[in-house]
Structure 1
Amino acid sequence: MKSERFGPWLAMVLGTLYFVVPLIATFEFSLRKRRGVYSFDAYASVFSDSRFIESFGYSTFIALLTIVVGVLLVVPTAYVIRLRMPRIRPVVEFITLLPLVIPAIVIVFGYLRLYNSSSFLPLTGTARSTDLLLVFAYVVLAMPYMYRAVDTGLRAIDVKTLTEAAESLGASWWTILFKVILPNVRVAVLSGAFLTFAIVIGEFTIASLLNRPAFGPYLQLVGANSAYEPSALAVIAFVVTWACMGLIQLFGSGIRGSSAAPR
């Protein structure tokens, strides 16, 4: 019995060290900006940089738009497929996996060629239209995670019974979708939303080639001109990402607890 437990524990310890040791080293290096003593000067320099605030605020706004568009696209699609067209579910799953296979640089060059200023739909002509194109690109990048999160949530509930019960009470399709189905899969939607947020905050390729002032290009710019600030930014990005993961657990536990409470 002891030998059976030793293997999993050893694998977990080695995996934790593989993950944590580089992070600790990065954090330790970010504290060395002041020679001979540890300090948070690199972090102070980052937070005092107006470009950091602007880029992080811009990426946060784009991430929120991406989440809204993604939810409005994925939830109805996954619901209809689950309820009415289960046979095409493998095809849709394959399509949603394509962003994991096709490199982001290929996607963005396709967008630039399709939506340039001389095309029938010039989305790169102005800053606002380019922002819209960036949101659409991020929706595509986040599609594998958002779709699977929502699909997993729909599997956990009896979609057909809920729909039939709501229809028997005279509910319209939109009422069923947003007042019956969506509240029952909100934990899954939150999971997909926070994963989307983490993806958008750290994305570089598409934002850089579309020349948008996002957080990813700012990270690259600082890394090319400074030594300690990039390490500080890497730690900050890590904290933001894991904060999103923590919020998934926090909101998920709260919602499950309120659902289980007697009424």
Structure 2
Amino acid sequence: MNSEDTRAFDADGIAGAVVASTVTFPKPPQLRAARRAKQSVIKFVILFVTLAFLFVPLLAMLIFTLRHPLSGRWSAAPWIAIFTGNGESLGADLTVLWQGVGTSLALSAVTVVIMLLLLVPTMVIVHIRSKALERAIEWVATLPLTIPAIVLVVGLGPIYRWLSADVLSTNPIWLCFAYVILVMPFAFRAIAVGLNSIDVKTLVEASRSLGASWPKVFFKVIIPNLWQSILSASFISIAVVLGEYTVASLLGRMNLQVALYQLGQSNSQISTAMSLLALLFGVVLLVALDLISDAMRKSKEGK
């Protein structure tokens, strides 16, 4: 055997050893079953701990609303007072509560409209024209996350004092301007995910080459592809507005959380029950978002 045959034999031997070392033999059924059982136990423990962390406080709140803290007597009177609108028997004036609910719902609607009018056209135009400017807008939009709400109030206080005295009024609906700032980071991220998931430039160029005007491109081409992101941004914004307390309280305006705080001074059970209903409403929003997203995805797949 000459030297060339020896080198060839060695190379084949090394290659065979490498292939043999990388081959994975199937595990016995007993080992696979044991591994699946172990993974199932770990998943169950993680799920149980997570659900307990989330639902034990909610269960404690529910028990608190049904069991009187002093006498220990069980009663559904706080829930009956909420659904009948009469809390006089429990020493609570629910007028403030319904005023706060109406204000927060109106603020949610106005905030979402202003947020969408500001963010969606701006982000679409910047996404098409300039990536550098898009990064700058992202920095500005996410800046409120790094600024505490109480610091925002310190800066917004003089502005609202001037607006209330000389331009607008003290109506709580004007909190929408401050709330747009608070929801902007969450809404920006939701819309940015939608823009990055589609080829906006190609859609725009194809539409323009077919003779579509810019308004038609925006409303009939881009917006239908962003519906899921727009819904996500809207629902997240509604959840943030319904849970906001600091800005409204420090600026002396009434919303749902301020009303719950004031109601808690006279009857904490009714306040806690209403807080549970607000949390349930947030869960309903998230479930509705998931169902709408699935329906939209299935309709696109069907087409």
1:1-263 equivalence runs, <5 A: 1-2=35-36, 3-33=38-68, 38-47=74-83, 48=85, 49-117=94-162, 122-123=163-164, 125=166, 128=169, 131=172, 133-262=174-303
Mark the CA change 1:197 to 1:124 in structure 2 (over 3 Å): closer, same or farther: farther
**What is the CA-CA distance between 1:94 and the residue it aligns to?**
2.3
Deviation at 1:165, TM superposition (A): 1.5
8 A contact 1:124–1:130 mirrored in 2: no
Report which stretch shifted further, 130-139 or 223-232: 130-139
Would you say the 8 A contact 2:263–2:271 is kept in 1?
Answer: yes
TM-score (norm 1): 0.89
Deviation at 1:96, TM superposition (A): 1.9
Query: Residue 46 of structure 1 contacts residue 52 of structure 1 at CA under 8 Å; is this kept in 2?
Result: no
Structure 2: distance between partners of 1:33 and 1:53:
24
Q: Which has the larger radius of gyration?
A: 2
| Structure-2 change in CA distance of 1:228 and 1:132 (3 Å) | closer
The worse-fitting range, judged by mean Cα deviation, of 249-258 and 36-45 is 36-45
Please give the root-mean-square deviation of Cα atoms over the aligned residues, in Å: 2.2
Spell out, residue by residue over 1:141-184, the C-alpha distance to the aligned partner (whole angstroms, 9 max, x if none): 11111111111111111101111121112222222222211111
Distance 2:204 2:159 in 1: 40
Tell me, yes or no, if the aligned pair for 1:59 and 1:215 is still in contact at 8 Å: yes
State TM-score, norm by structure 2. 0.78
Separation (CA, whole Å) in 2 of partners of 1:22 and 1:224: 21
Q: Aligned pair in 2 of structure 1 residues 150, 4: CA closer, same or farther (>3 Å)?
A: same
1:129 and 1:176 map into 2 onto residues whose CA distance is: 40
Amino acid at match of 2:200: V
Give the AA of the match of 2:159.
Answer: L
Separation in 2 of the partners of 1:8 and 1:124?
Answer: 58
* Alignment partners' CA distance in 2, 1:58 and 1:18: 32
Matches of 1:175 and 1:210 in 2, distance apart? Answer: 42
Q: CA deviation at 1:222?
A: 1.4
Instruction: State the AA in 1 paired with 2:239.
Output: A
SS of the counterpart of 2:268?
A: coil
Question: For the residues of structure 2 that align with 1:36 and 1:116, how far apart are their CA atoms?
Answer: 47
Which residues of structure 2 form unaligned runs of 5+? 1-34, 86-93
How far residue 208 of structure 1 moved from its aligned partner, in angstroms, is 1.7
Amino acid at match of 2:130: M
The alignment partner of 1:212 has SS state of coil
> Structure 1: which 5+ runs fail to align?
none
Q: 1:134–1:210: 8 Å Cα contact kept in structure 2? A: no
